[in-house]
């Protein structure tokens, strides 16, 4: 079975500073990788995903994540955060031949002015 570890449960960061959210996964088979964002009192929204091809994937609001197979990681980064990025971020994996998303424990990002 696959598992996902998000090493940081909370990340406080000042506005316009960079942020990196760490995600490591464990799986014996190929996986697809996802980052979801959950804004306060809202449902989960897909931020970006890695299925194949370029290991660097980007979202429309400035986030990017890089798939590193050798390190089994899929860290999320943004070079300059906004107050509106305050949310909880979840890394998730699914087996390439499977149908069940496995989520990490989440990282709460608090952007301070």
Contacts with other proteins by CB under 8 A lie at 4, 6, 9, 32, 36, 41-46, 49, 51, 90, 92, 94-101, 103-106
Give whichever of 42 and 70 is closer to other proteins, judged by the CB atom.
42
- Residue nearer to other proteins on the CB measure, 70 or 99: 99
The C-alpha atoms of residue 17 and residue 41 are separated, in whole angstroms, by 25
Tokens encoding 62:
């400035």
Q: Which is nearer to other proteins, 79 or 105 (CB)?
A: 105
The least distance separating other proteins from the CB of residue 31, rounded to whole angstroms, comes to: 9
State the minimum distance, in angstroms, from the CB of residue 11 to other proteins: 15
> How far is residue 71 from each of residues 16, 57, 61, 76, 95, measured CA to CA in Å?
29, 17, 26, 14, 17
Helix (H, G, I), strand (E, B) or coil at 40: coil
């Amino acid at each position: 079975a696959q598992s996902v570890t998000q090493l940081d449960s909370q990340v406080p960061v000042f506005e316009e500073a960079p942020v990196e959210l760490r995600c490591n996964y464990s799986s014996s088979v190929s996986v697809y990788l996802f980052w979801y964002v959950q804004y306060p009192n809202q449902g989960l929204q897909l931020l970006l995903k890695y299925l194949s091809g370029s290991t660097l994937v980007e979202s429309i609001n400035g986030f990017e994540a890089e798939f590193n197979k050798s390190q089994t990681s899929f860290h999320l980064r943004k070079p300059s955060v906004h107050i509106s990025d305050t949310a909880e971020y979840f890394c998730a994996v699914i087996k390439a031949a499977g149908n069940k998303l496995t989520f990490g424990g989440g990282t709460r990002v608090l952007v301070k002015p």
